[in-house]
Amino acid sequence: MAYTAPTDAFRFAEYRRAAEGRRVLITGAGKDGGIGQAFALSAGLNGAASVGVHFHRSYEDGFDLVDRLRDEGVHAFPVQADVTNLRDLWAIRSYVMDQMGGLPPDLVICNSGLTESGYNLGRTLRPVEGESTSLRRARVRQHFIDNLEQSRLVLDTKVDGFLASTHLWAGEAVYAGTPAQIVYVSSRQAVDPGPAVPGYALSNWAVLQLPKVLKVNLGRSADLVSCFTLLLPFVRTGMTNEYAGNERVFGRWQPRMLEPYEMAKAFMALLARPTEETDGAMYELTVYAASDADQSDPATSSAVELFWNRLTLSLDQQPVHWSQANPLHFT
């Protein structure tokens, strides 16, 4: 598949300081038109010293992206690995650091290009003319199993893959004594799940806890590694483009889908903030219709405004009275 991204749309002079001189590794950056590609272009076209473009299956698009970045004078290199395979992940360690001048990345963006096609829970599959009852039962069963396989892959990548990747590179940063920043990419569906994609919603919820887990595991070295989480709304990619005209899918959150470069500019504005401000935080990107959007005027009807909101998850602990009145006692 040919490279199709609007390259110049990812040049953000006002936020160049966010990426300039940095050693950047982005997981799940292979797919053309995807979120990971947008992160790679944002880093490379705004002064990053090196950009590692990771992919697993999307190798053709991944190499196209690397070639395009190199054409722009960026020191970009491909990284093919299955992040859910620990041996595969460990095998790229020395290669990535060789490409980065012997040092580990100082910015790791944990992104994944996976989602689910959707369950039909509570609904039956459409009948096929002439299909027997036995054949239909087999088709329904296989559809359900295929969905579960998709869910498991999403969970493995978002949870195990993100956990392993960030602990690997955080550990290398501590060993080298160089500060590092980690960005975890989650979704609005982590806190407001949409229908039919339970694995996606659950895995993105788990991503929200990974920065805290990492900090605990780093112990006394926790100050050397900063991290924050993004909860992104619907961005137009190869996976979401089919829903771009279906307001029932994305309309609950935003007036229209974002283009990758729009999301990328908002990300760069956030990345440019001081690390002591963003460390440990969760940021939700919210999309509103612009105040000057005139729905009757095609030139302005799609205008939007983007805002970051900082989220805080808290547990409200309340006593269970019958249990506290009669506690279990052991000696």
CB-based contact 104:178 (threshold 8 Å): yes
- pLDDT of residue 263 exceeding 60: yes
- pLDDT of residue 246 exceeding 80: no
Express each pLDDT in 162-172 by its tens digit: 999 999 999 99
Q: Which residue has the tokens 């990492």?
A: 214
Mean pLDDT of 147-155: 85
Q: How confident is the model at residue 121 (pLDDT cuts 50, 70, 90)?
A: low
SS3 290: coil
Q: Which residue has the tokens 């506690």?
A: 327
Q: What is the pLDDT of residue 49?
A: 98
Closest by CA to 166, choosing from 201, 202, 115, 218, is: 218
Ordered structural domains, the chain, with CATH:
7-325 (3.40.50.720)
- pLDDT of residue 53 exceeding 80: yes
- pLDDT of residue 295 exceeding 70: no
Q: What is the pLDDT of residue 217?
A: 93
Q: What percent of the chain has pLDDT over 90?
A: 64
pTM above 0.85, yes or no: yes
328 by Cβ neighbours in 10 Å (0-12 / 13-18 / 19+) ranks as: exposed
Strand order in 304-311's β-sheet?
A: 76-80, 50-55, 23-26, 107-110, 180-187, 225-232, 282-289, 304-311
312 by Cβ neighbours in 10 Å (0-12 / 13-18 / 19+) ranks as: exposed
Least confident of 99-108, 232-241, 252-261, 291-300: 291-300
Radius of gyration of the chain (CA): 22
Stretch (H or E) spanning 305: strand 304-311
Least confident of 197-206, 239-248, 269-278: 239-248
Mean pLDDT of 45-52: 98
Least confident of 24-38, 190-204, 216-230, 270-284: 190-204
272 by Cβ neighbours in 10 Å (0-12 / 13-18 / 19+) ranks as: middle
- Give CA–CA dist 276/280, Å, rounded: 9
| DSSP assigned state of 121 | T
CA 10 from chain center: how many Å?
18
Q: Which residue has the tokens 């053709």?
A: 60
- pLDDT of residue 118 exceeding 70: no
Phi, psi of 100 (to 5 degrees): -105, 25
Q: How confident is the model at residue 242 (pLDDT cuts 50, 70, 90)?
A: low
Cross-strand partners of 11: none
Express each pLDDT in 169-216 by its tens digit: 999 999 999 999 999 999 988 898 876 778 888 899 999 999 999 999
Least confident of 57-61, 159-163, 293-297: 293-297
Q: What is the pLDDT of residue 150?
A: 85
Q: What percent of the chain has pLDDT over 70?
A: 89
- Give CA–CA dist 311/155, Å, rounded: 23
- Give CA–CA dist 177/105, Å, rounded: 12
Q: What is the pLDDT of residue 249?
A: 65
Q: What is the pLDDT of residue 140?
A: 81
- pLDDT of residue 276 exceeding 70: yes
Q: What is the pLDDT of residue 232?
A: 94
Mean pLDDT of 316-328: 94
- pLDDT of residue 32 exceeding 70: yes
Phi, psi of 249 (to 5 degrees): -85, -55
Which two structure tokens, joined as six digits, stand for 10? Answer: 């990812």
Which two structure tokens, joined as six digits, stand for 321? Answer: 């009275």
- Give CA–CA dist 87/81, Å, rounded: 9
Mean pLDDT of 115-127: 67
Count of alpha carbons within 13 Å of 8, Cβ hemisphere only? Answer: 0
Q: What is the pLDDT of residue 329?
A: 93
- pLDDT of residue 240 exceeding 80: no
Mean pLDDT of 293-311: 80
Q: What is the pLDDT of residue 199?
A: 84
Closest by CA to 6, choosing from 236, 196, 227, 167, is: 236
